[in-house]
Amino acid sequence: MIRCLGPDDLPLLRALWSQGLEQVPEAFLLTPSEMLAITDAQLSAALEAKVYWGAFQDGRLVGFAALRAGGLERLGHTGDVGPLFVDPAWRRRGLGAQILSALQAHAREIGLKQIELTVDRQNKSAFALYLRAGFRIIGIRPRSVLVNGLPRDDVMMLQMLDQPKADGFLHPILQDALQDWG
């Protein structure tokens, strides 16, 4: 079952998030101590604001993702997706895709026009998932994060929710720009 997480799910979310941070630190922006520094009050407020969505199996939270909507007035049409994590024991059963699809539906419901994310350049599974879900590459940010002091590149991806899924890997806007620059 996929559903929006609420304040009652806070302990489950923290536990799964900690698991993810330990198992795949490069898939998260926050470090474990930064995650722990988020107070229960702050996390509850985010859960109340419908930021987190989760996949449940037999009553256990086995996957989660977040969608943060714009904030500033001029960014009010945009949202940022991430983190996204599925317990390794439950991967390749469509849960990541289903969580993402719930986020996309929610983004549309709250009137967002586009959603964005960054994915580690080496993270082929997540890249394949996002591509299939309709995200396209808009750029690459070299050495964008240091994980345990080591540089990693991020691929930036975007989906325009009011436009049909584009072909290929690159977002049409990037294809156009590359042609313009000749």
Residues lying near ligand COA in the complex (CB under 6 A): 24, 27, 82, 84-86, 91-97, 119, 123, 125-126, 128-129, 132
Least distance to ligand COA, CB of residue 119, Å: 4
Least distance to ligand COA, CB of residue 12, Å: 16
Instruction: From 178, 175, 177, 173, select the one nearest 163 (Cα to Cα).
Output: 173
Nearer to ligand COA, 3 or 132 (CB): 132
Which token pair is 103?
Answer: 């986020």
Nearer to ligand COA, 44 or 101 (CB): 101
Radius of gyration of the chain (CA): 16
Distance in angstroms (rounded) separating the CA atoms of residues 54 and 86: 9
Least distance to ligand COA, CB of residue 74, Å: 25
Least distance to ligand COA, CB of residue 160, Å: 19
Which token pair is 117?
Answer: 């994310």
